[in-house]
Amino acid sequence: QVQLVESGGGLVQPGGSLRLSCAASGLTDDTHYMGWFRQAPGKQREGVASLYSGGGTPYYADSVKGRFTTSQDNAKNTVYLEMNSLNPEDTAMYYCAARLFKSGSWSRFSPYDYDYWGQGTQVTVSS
């Protein structure tokens, strides 16, 4: 059974930084994808970052490119999202998600293409 647990959210001032963590269990191989999504009240869930468990270049949404960095520690089965230069528009519930390897076309930033989800961690950017 796959479980994803996010942590690290909180209240931060504009211009500040936070690091989110996503601890994964039950993912038995290194052929899966991890994604970070966020959802603000009244808005659709938005993909912000994606990376492949086996390595390679992460992908970022234009809205966070240059400010957010995702990485993984396979020894700890943990994925991170380092968020810098935060602004109030970044306020949202942040989720990590996992997609098992499968054939066929898919979108890294579509929430419908991921199989497992964490419970989310709230990020609030406010002065």
Among candidate residues 85, 63, 80, the one with its CA nearest the CA of residue 17: 85
Name the least confident of 6-10, 83-87, 103-107: 103-107
| CA atoms of 47 and 39, how far apart (whole Å) | 9
Which pLDDT value is given to residue 103? Answer: 85
42: confidence class by pLDDT, cuts 50, 70, 90: very high
Residue 29 has pLDDT above 80, yes or no: no
30 or 96, higher pLDDT: 96
